[in-house]
Amino acid sequence: QVQVVESGGGLVQAGGSLRLSCAASGSIFSIDAMGWYRQAPGKQRELVATITSGGSTNYADSVKGRFTISRDNAKNTGYLQMNSLKPEDTAVYYCNAVLRLKYAGSWTGYWGQGTQVTVSS
């Protein structure tokens, strides 16, 4: 019914940039918050950034000033612009979209499959 698909990951040198995309598709009535999370090997999944439907944003302290979250509501797509990347940013990045399906009354979070970001030193 719903698919959340991330793209844009890859290998980049320290100091470089990547832009991740998160596209939600299916029988979607509306999307509330969208968020990016990451999980490094041997570590728990952590919050990177979130954005509400109204555009309010929140960032982890470790990425403030380097990452920018945005969204295109018309396309049901979210983005994460990552600049000044560091080796410690290496992780699988996951998108979460809190959305309401057509003909459904509740809001549910859906996860994508993740995209690998590797930053070399």
Average of per-residue pLDDT across 37-60: 97
pLDDT at res. 75: 96
pLDDT digits (tens, 9 = 90+) for 66-81: 999 999 999 999 999 9
Asked whether residue 13 carries a pLDDT value surpassing 90, the answer given is yes
Report yes or no: 36 and 13 within 8 Å, Cβ to Cβ: no
Of 9-23, 43-57, 99-113, where does mean pLDDT reach its minimum? 99-113
In angstroms, rounded to a whole number, what is the distance separating the alpha carbons of residues 29 and 42?
A: 37
pLDDT digits (tens, 9 = 90+) for 77-103: 999 999 999 999 999 999 999 999 988
What is the pLDDT of the chain when averaged over all its residues?
96
Q: Give the burial class of 31: count Cβ atoms within 10 A of its Cβ; 0-12 exposed, 13-18 middle, 19 or more buried.
A: buried
pLDDT at res. 1: 83
Asked whether residue 105 carries a pLDDT value surpassing 90, the answer given is no
